[in-house]
A and B are shown apart, each in its own frame.
Chain A
Amino acid sequence: MEKGLTVRRIVIAGVLGAIAILLGVTRLGYIPVPTAAGNATIMHIPAVIGGIMEGWGVGMIIGLIFGVSSFLNATVPLFKDPLVAILPRLFIGVTAYFTYVGLKNINEYFAIGAAGFIGAMTNTILVLGMAVIRGYMTFGVAATVALTSGLPEAIVSVIVTLAVVAAWKNLVKAGKQKSKISG
């Protein structure tokens, strides 16, 4: 990978940042699955994708945009605290990047999926962790939310990350896959 912020990285960070903002302000960011919050969010996914595709710097910047957007749009007191809304989000793209890079030599698909999973868990664990440290909830509550909300969200994250990154990287090997209607 080239070093530093190239034009490509700047633009991709901007564009994925736009999606992060968009997912936050419209209901697209929420997939109605059973979690404590009632919806799993996919708002962290642009940061994950940015991390995988363009490195930890881009991942961090998109995470920052996600965090600030979350902070500005929050109606819950929890997310009006910048230490809870912004700081943890910086790491989503970073952990995703390192997961991907670490695993991609084993299997590309596995690496992408794992990055999606780790990125989502980073979001869940660090946000809830800050919430506990700042006194918004007890450790017990946080742990429960992490399991009931965080795990489904991580599963959702794996599915979406794989689908999008595979499409972006044109990973489908021509001729080796059959559509559902064949055979």
Chain B
Amino acid sequence: MTSPIVDVTDLSHVYMQGTPLAHQALDRVSIQVERGECIAIIGHTGSGKSTLIQHLNGLMRPQSGKVIVNGLDVSDPKVDIRLLRRQVGLVFQNPEDQLFEKLVGDDIAYGPFKMGLPIAEVKERVEWAMELVGLSFDEMKDRPTFALSGGQKRKVALAGVLALRPHVLVLDEPTAGLDPRSRNELLQRIRRLNVEEGLTVIFVSHNMEEVARLAQRVYVMANGQIACEGTPRHIFGNSSLLQEHHIGTPEAVDILYQLREQGYAVDTGSFLPEEAAAEILNLIKR
């Protein structure tokens, strides 16, 4: 059996160590992600999600515990950080803020150029990345970045990270601030990246619909620890779990729970809108 592509063991992190403002952000956190999986990390604000993902590409080094990504040990002072950051593409929240080049093509090409690749390969990667996010290479590559809509800018930012050809894509709130249509489109594209291109995807989200739609497995974090882990069906179907950790539910599941309370026999584990709709239809038919 191959080892997981992301292997975090007993990771701990304290901010402002040694000062009166010290805060334990991570407390012996362990997660494993297999190659090609699509994982969600959810939890209330301050549960440690951001701190955790910043360890995955070496922005932070483990204070204690181990983080091994694709065979690279993040604790090792001699580890090739540049290589790590190419293999793990970390996309921050509102990534459109980080565009700085005047033209779309230049901004996406920034990463590959920094890698020292020849222009022919840079061009190829940019084209590939743009296609994956849904931007027409010929139309958009010479467009000024300021003239784009928020959604388009986000695509450019994402393409910029994809152009590095990472093995693992880590996204922090990928659809925050997008209108519903753009959100759906982006989620579909992320799924494509996971299924067709074989990218391992780890994403942090507050949006339960998104989690329900994309994730194969979910880690729930609370107070710097992993509170529990399971499939979306398992997590959303378990009402005591949801209440204990203040996890919201997708609206579809919410409706099912309300029906259950009223005495109707529905399977609350049907977390996808289509499944939930099917459950309700069955009820009506009976």
Chain A contacts to B: CB under 8 angstroms: 166-167, 170, 172, 174-175, 177-182
Contact = CB atoms under 8 A, between A and B. Distances in A.
Contacts of A182: 105, 141-142
A161 to B, nearest CB: 15
Nearest to B123: A181
B71 interface: no
Nearest to B146: A170
B41 interface: no
Interface hub of A167, A179, A180, A181 (most chain B Cβ within 10 A):
A181
B25 interface: no
Contacts of B143: 174
Interface hub of A177, A180, A182 (most chain B Cβ within 10 A):
A180
B126 A177 contact: no
B146 A179 contact: no
Contacts of B105: 179-182
Contacts of B101: 179
Contacts of A178: 103, 142
B144 A170 contact: yes
B278 interface: no
Given A172-B102, A181-B141, A167 B146 contact: yes
Interface string B110-124: 000100000100110
Secondary structure at the B interface, as helix, strand, loop or mixed, is helix
A180 B119 contact: yes
A66 B146 CA distance: 29
Contacts of A170: 144, 146-147
Interface residues of B, number: 19
Contacts of A177: 102-103, 142, 144
B39 interface: no
Nearest to A164: B100
Nearest to A176: B142
B143 to A, nearest CB: 7
A30 to B, nearest CB: 19
Nearest to A168: B146
A181 to B, nearest CB: 5
Given A174-B147, A177-B103, A179-B104, 17 more contacts: A166-B102, A167-B102, A170-B144, A170-B146, A172-B144, A174-B143, A174-B144, A177-B142, A177-B144, A178-B142, A180-B105, A180-B106, A180-B119, A181-B109, A181-B122, A181-B123, A182-B142
A174 B123 CA distance: 21
Contacts of A180: 105-106, 109, 113, 119
Nearest to A173: B144
A181 B123 CA distance: 6
B137 to A, nearest CB: 9
B240 to A, nearest CB: 47
A150 to B, nearest CB: 27
Interface hub of B103, B105, B113, B119 (most chain A Cβ within 10 A):
B103
Nearest to B104: A179
Contacts of B141: 179, 181-182
Contact of B126 (A166, A172, A175, A181): A181
B109 A179 contact: yes
25 contacts: A166-B102, A167-B100, A167-B146, A170-B146, A172-B102, A172-B103, A172-B144, A172-B146, A174-B143, A174-B147, A177-B102, A177-B142, A177-B144, A179-B105, A179-B141, A180-B105, A180-B106, A180-B109, A180-B113, A181-B105, A181-B106, A181-B122, A181-B123, A182-B105, A182-B141
Given A180-B119, A181-B126, A175 B102 contact: no
Nearest to A180: B106
